[in-house]
Structure 1
Amino acid sequence: MKKVLIVRASAIGDIVFASPFAEAIKKTYPDAYISWLMEKGNEVLMADSPYVDECIVMPVSEWKSLWKNGKKLEAIKKIRAFGAELKARHFDVAIDLQGLLKSGIFAWMSSAPVRIGLGSREGSQWLMNKVISRAGESHRISSEYLYLAEQLKLDHNHFTPSLSLNSQSEKLALEKLAAHGLHPGKYVVFAAFTTRPQKHWFADAWQNMAPMVKEKTGLIPILLGGPADKVAAEEIHSGAQDIINLVGQTRLAEAVAIVAHAGALIGVDTGLTHMGIAFDIPTVALFGSTCPYTNTTRDNAKVIWLGLPCSPCRRKPTCNDRFDCLREITPENVMTTLESALKSES
């Protein structure tokens, strides 16, 4: 492995899970040049990693915009040109960690003589030389990527998510915190938002959680999220003035830095929550409709999952939107778990 292309373009949480894979390659092949292909915006997650030499940005949103606006020929030309750029880099190995047709196409377009797919489907398996199934200990964080590392005989002795900070983004993040009277280690991040309602804890639960955390730990709760989460954030904030609402006010790289400097994190199954584990801060992760990792590999990271018969339902809830798997997780339960995580930290 002299020149390696890793393809894991999205989503944020999955990139966090996959982060130790680059380290495993680098430890096994110290002279390898590792490039990571990801969608625009996500590159901040791995751009400062000591194990990734280069992030290649894939402007998917630009291509989609051209296609939707009737400029299909131009979109196709740009995609082909991007593929030609990949081919010109002369990769020895392309590893598709995403396993979808769209990711497999770019691994194939790289013309790497060895193309390895993780659980490849949707036809992408026909674009690979070798497909390795998604397996491993399902309740361990990053298990499928660890299994792939084992199958490829990579050094996997330390295989836990880890991220590095961009110094400029870290500076901006600390300035934003200071503007709200917040200091490193003195706040708790509430990572309340994700892509599907069946993964969300309830607004009233967060509202009840805020004063409880502040009183028992002295940590100031802050809400983090993207622009699409503003309405939901306002609903939570309207009933809990103890919370500082930073939703939509930070770029991804700044949010990463805010998580890294937090005293603790409470969150649902979303990228920001998994970052808490990557940065080794006390973390409580709430799972319901999705399959949990109960083995976080860190003593200060705890998972709450009730294991109801209907859970995980993934994208097909059967509870008529009651989401009992999360409703039955109480703020008191979360507080007890957080105190345990904080105790493990000390």
Structure 2
Amino acid sequence: MKVLIVKTSSMGDVIHTFPALQDARRARPDIAFDWCVEEAFAGIVALHPAVGTIHTVAIRRWRKHLFDKATWREATALRRALRACRYDLVIDAQGLLKSALVARQAKAPIAGFDRSSAREPSATLLYDVGHAVPRNLHAIERTRRLFGQALGYRPDLSILDSGIVPPPGNLTGIAGNTAFLLHGTSREDKKWPVEDWIETGRLLVERGMTPVTTWSDEREQAVAEAIARAVPSTSIVPKSPLADIAAILGSSRLVIGADTGLTHLASAFGLPTVAVFLATEPGLTGPRGPYASTLQAAPGERVSSARVVAEAERLLEHQTHGQAGAGKN
């Protein structure tokens, strides 16, 4: 059986789909899985060993050049590639009209959330089968339940396994207790003040850790350089391909991040991860992992650096105890 997963974006949403794929990999070893994703996140999808062919879309780019011939050529090539694969089933795990339209291009039966469960009910008009999944569950659990209903098994929700491991690679000259500080995020109201990042870096250095940070645009570069000026032992990773950042992230001892895709990736890798949420509700979309924790700003309050580092120490200790316990078995 050949199944196409449609989950095009964002990075966090893509990562939240991995546990569902891991469930299906165990329950239905007869199925071969392919994936259709936004071109920017193809490298993230490639981290899961159960994914065969990765088809890429460029909806964000196509929207800006809707009437260009190149856009239509790419869209036509995608449709041909999807139909050539002759899928037995397409699972639209996103529940949006745009994802349903992409799923439709494969010319195969489509399963997705039903009208009461989908983020955009209009998407269900394009599905062959809709499945009811409560909307008040975390995105990871919702997707796991959807896959289970679509493929005929019951996921074991008592365990959580993303099925991915960090790719090979590291940061030359940096080793030992590194703490990756993920300050960059898509919205201004999600950003933790640079002063808090600096204080966090100082507290980590006092505890024998080496801060590492990176950037993807000029504004993030300015923040990274401000941290490094104030905390000279900080290592700045230049703007790099996502796969390279994922490798460096995966070799870190600790990750502290804003509400951003790389923070979700760190938790999926099973790293001690402290997520700082300032403007969004983490209950349904926050990072999940064996050593992941989310600190949320209460109305009118702030999340202090001391609180973040204290939580980081708790997670590191928890990991140490967990590994020691596993070694005794």
> TM-score, structure 2 length as denominator?
0.85
Q: Within 1, Cα distance between the matches of 2:100 and 2:276? A: 32
CA shift, 1:220, in A, is 0.4
| Gap change, CA 1:299 and 1:39, over 3 Å in 2 | closer
Match of 1:313 in 2: none
Alpha-carbon shift at residue 131 of structure 1 (Å):
3.1
Kindly report which structure 2 residues correspond to 1:247-266, keeping only aligned pairs within 5 A, or say none: 247-248=238-239, 250-266=240-256
- Give me the whole-angstrom Cα distance separating, in 2, the residues matched to 1:145 and 1:297: 14
Q: Give runs of aligned pairs for residues 155-234 of structure 1, distance below 5 A.
A: 155-157=154-156, 158-166=159-167, 170-171=168-169, 174=170, 177-178=171-172, 181-183=173-175, 185-216=176-207, 218-227=208-217, 229-234=220-225
Tell me by how many angstroms 1:296 deviates: 6.0
Distance in 2 of aligned mates of 1:147 and 1:122: 18
Q: Tell me the CA shift for residue 64 of structure 1.
A: 4.6
| Per-residue deviation, 1:26 | 1.9
Matched, 1:329 2:319: no
CA contact (8 A) 1:201 1:268 kept: yes
How many equivalent pairs are there? 312
2:325 maps to what in 1?
none
1-side partners of 2:164 and 2:238: how far apart? 21
Shift of 1:224: 2.7
- C-alpha distance 84-266 of structure 1, shift in aligned 2 (>3 A): same
- Partners of 2:124 and 2:135 lie apart in 1 by 20
Consecutive unaligned residues in structure 2, runs of 5 or more:
321-329
TM-score norm. by structure 1 comes to 0.81
Q: Does 1:51 align with 2:25?
A: no
Per-residue deviation at 1:141?
6.5
Q: Report % sequence identity.
A: 24
Q: 2:235 maps to what in 1?
A: 244
Q: In structure 2, give the amino acid aligned to 1:29.
A: R
3-state secondary structure, aligned to 1:41 = helix
Q: Indicate how the Cα distance of structure 1 residues 307 and 155 shifts in structure 2: closer, same or farther if over 3 A, else same.
A: farther
Distance 1:94 1:182, change over 3 A: same
Correspondence for 1:289? 279
Cα 1:215–1:141 change in 2 (3 A) is farther
Distance 2:95 2:121 in 1: 8
Give the corresponding residue for 2:318: 344
Residue equivalent to 1:273: 263
Cα distance, 1:251 vs structure 2: 1.1
Alignment of 1:15-94 (within 5 A): 15-60=14-59, 63-64=62-63, 66-67=65-66, 71=68, 73-94=69-90
Query: What is the alpha-carbon distance in structure 2 between the residues aligned to residue 31 and residue 79 of structure 1?
Result: 30
For the 8 Å contact 1:96–1:115, the answer to whether it is kept is: yes
Of 129, 134, 145, the match for 1:147: 145
Instruction: Note if contact 2:95-2:112 (Cα within 8 Å) is conserved in structure 1.
Output: no
Deviation at 1:155, TM superposition (A): 4.8
Name the CA distance, whole Å, in 1 between partners of 2:60 and 2:136: 35
Secondary structure in 1 matching 2:179: strand
Counterpart of 2:303, as a letter, is: I
Distance 1:276 1:258 in 2: 10
Deviation at 1:307? Answer: 4.2
Bigger shift: residues 205-214 or 125-134: 125-134
